Structure 1
Amino acid sequence: MSVLGSLTPLPAADHPELLAEPVVKALSRLPDASGVLVAEIDPDLADTAAFCEAYSSPPEFSANCVVVSGKRSGEVRYAACLVLATTRADVNGVVKRRLDVRKASFAPMDEAVELTGMEYGGITPLGLPEGWPLLIAPEVAAAEAVVVGSGIRGSKLAVPGAVLTALPGAEVVEDLARPA
């Protein structure tokens, strides 16, 4: 079974119309983007649970990319966390310590959208702002492929874990994910 369920995947690099601009740029910099696939979806079904149900994509093959922020000495620090959809990122433990901030929380939606250049509900690890850490759960890193956003709500990507761990700023972090 395909991680994209009933959808027909296409080579993402050949379909920039299905991707946010930062994702197109990130794909062009990958040594081998051929393993990254894209499939068009109904934008109203972009949220993980609705997507999985509508397209018969197993939730254990979906990963959520969340933007987290925290402050230290007046400086706002950001990170993106990539965990399986069946888990949650340990924002107030592991992520807080990794960012070295007093309190970490999900970045406000408008801020995350503005900083990433991606649509809310479509934020993906490909094309994140330069310098941001990309914290990846070991289960995601080890996956043959996971479904993630494409930067827009109208499509999804299937990306091998090995491609994700090779992205700029990527770091596999033990205990990043907690049971949902």
Structure 2
Amino acid sequence: MKHKLSIFVILIFILTSSFSVGYNWAQAWVDDATITKSNLSKPILSQVTEKHLTLIVLTKKYLIKTASNGNTYLHCYLVNGTDTTTSIGRADATITGFSTEILKDSIWQQFQLPINSDCGNSYWTQKLKIKTALSIRLDHNEIGPIRVPFRIRFDHNNNVIYSNIITVDIDQKNYDRVGNSKK
């Protein structure tokens, strides 16, 4: 029995490793339950598209370094500028459907893949009311010397929402893997 359990554990490790080697995951952590649109700063509000769900990523100078885990995050807002409440897919403390792209060789290419929960019990739906926003921290730990245009992609209700474009610095290893079919 012990031998069978060891083989099972090794097989699980191999299967999960094969899905993650070479990829980075786009983890979008929700900071605040909701923020009223009137509490957003003018630079953020100026980017909100009325009648649409808008995703705004703050510029590089707003990188957040957390004291508790040392990770680096990009700060962004998901603002509901529509005239109806919308449902946002969640997996525990993250939003589902987020991925990121960089501009490489004049083509937008996937940089971080969407991540889902490991168990099926973590999914739920959050309502985002009219004229409210979610404050989100998006993992960005691939910092390096290469400056690239960057945007966030959010797949929401059969629509694709792109953030504004900012410039980020990434490392050589992650730059090289983008667009490489082996990843």
- Report the TM-score, using the length of structure 2 for normalisation: 0.28
**Greater per-residue strand proportion:** 2
**Greater per-residue helix proportion:** 1
